[in-house]
Amino acid sequence: MARKVGLGQKKELDAQLNLTPFIDLLSTCVCFLLITAVWIEIGSVEIKQSHGTQAAASKKISYDLDVVFRGEKSISLNLKKNGKRLKAINVKGNSFEDVLKQLDTAIVDKILGLKKKTIEIASATITPRSSVNYGQMISAIDVLRKNEIVNIGIISARGR
């Protein structure tokens, strides 16, 4: 008689896993994450995109403001009306805080109060140099927002 190979006892495929330690570990992790979520602080800057957000271009006269960092202590402002430059203002100071104060007064006096009437800036673009750090650029955005200019864009300037 020939012997059949491989027909020994069959092993069960069902393995029993003890899930209690896994559930305990999972519930501990969930509690830890819920408790530590209190210390997470989310910061954001609410600005609108300066170009490309409106469906149709309006026919009314729009003023645009270009803010160009010339250095750490110098910023130049270019006021444009329908794409043509109307006015160029250079703002300089002894420190960056002084430049921000000069920028604020220049926007209020020389730009928003142009020709003894109040104008509205449709959009502003900021062009920083590579020497300008992130905090300085955000401070300039804060000055623009303080003067109710909310459509702000940032143009990266390579090699500057």
pLDDT at 63: 83
Task: Calculate the alpha carbon distances from 1 to 4, 8, 128 in Å.
Answer: 9, 17, 92
**Residue 149 contacts residue 119 (beta carbons within 8 Å):** no
User: Strands 63-71 and 121-127: what pairing?
Assistant: parallel
- pLDDT-derived band at 26, boundaries 50, 70, 90: very high
**63-154 has CATH 3.30.499.10 classification:** no
The Cα 115–Cα 146 span in angstroms is 21
pLDDT at 3: 61
**22 DSSP β-pair partners:** none
DSSP letter string over 35-48?
Answer: HHGGG--------B
Total-model pTM: 0.58
Name the residue among 65, 56, 51 with its Cα closest to residue 127.
65
Domain boundaries, the chain: 63-154
Per-residue pLDDT of 46-82, as tens digits, reads: 666 656 555 444 445 678 888 888 887 888 888 888 7
